[in-house]
Structure 1
Amino acid sequence: MINSLFHKGSSFFIYPYRIIFLRVDELQPAVQVLLSVSKRRFRHAVHRNLLKRRMREAYRVQKNEQLYPALENRSFGLLLAIQYVGKEVLDYAIMCKRMADVLKRLGEETQ
């Protein structure tokens, strides 16, 4: 599933995220998410883990308002990879705002 996501999926960029998504038939649960932070840009695991925790929380808070209403009553599932491509550790508030933009655009792109 991960190989097909990266080889066949569509992508877009909203700083500090690069989003890769793929519509799939009959996926349970409806959305599966993969989060990644580059080891090349953030050498210390502490910083990578901090960014992944912030990304996960921003996604959790925003998904019910932005993404799930757009996917409601659809006959497909969504594989989603969110890559952090920023060069520095951003505040949670900025990451959350950008995640809302990402999920809003993702809802528009999948319709």
Structure 2
Amino acid sequence: MSYTFTKEERLCSKRLLERLFRNGSSFVVYPYRIVFLYSPLVQKDTIPVQCVISVSKRRFRQAVDRNAIKRRIRETYRLQKSDLYNFLQEHSLHLLLAFQYVGKEKEPYAMLYQRMGKVLAKLKDAHTQIYMGEAD
């Protein structure tokens, strides 16, 4: 697994974004609000996760601050995504994902990294509860 964050992994499609925010589930692990939507994997070669990162302009007026936070979030996700990718490929799933930063100030990188680990673990648990619970 390479530790890259390519263009194909970014969620840019307006149609998919609309579907994510209309039909997706969400949870909060401070300072993140996560909106996610699982769907079956259509093709084997596609990327299992597409994500978008947003930081509120209302909370961070300076573009420099918003971009710095997005850069930190992207980096923490990039370094920890391999476990989630393996899980999704085992279950033949595709995940649409939105990271929304809800914190009121810039948090240190170490805290963002630790919370990203919790977010990714919770995403795996959410899949297990939603889909494996229905099979019973």
- The interval holding the TM-score normalised by the smaller chain is over 0.9
Residue 106 of structure 2 is matched in structure 1 by: 89
Q: Give CA deviations for 1:12-46 in whole Å, capped at 9, x if unaligned.
A: 00000000000123262110010000000000000
Residue 21 of structure 2 is matched in structure 1 by: 6
Q: CA RMSD in A?
A: 1.2
Aligned partner of 1:54 among 72, 77, 90:
72
**Hey, which of these two has a bigger chunk of helix by percent?**
2
Where structure 2 has 5 or more consecutive residues not aligned to the other structure, the ranges are 1-15, 129-136
The higher radius of gyration belongs to 2
The runs of at least 4 consecutive aligned structure 1 residues that moved more than 2 Å come to: none
Residue 127 of structure 2 is matched in structure 1 by: 110
- Mapped to 1, the partners of 2:87 and 2:125 lie a distance apart of 7
2:50 is equivalent to residue 71 of structure 1: no
**Hey, which of these two has a bigger chunk of strand by percent?**
1
The structure showing larger relative contact order (alpha-carbon pairs under 8 Å, at least 6 residues apart) is: 1
> 1:91 offset after TM fit, Å?
0.6
User: Percent of aligned pairs with the same residue?
Assistant: 52
TM-score with structure 2 setting the length: 0.77
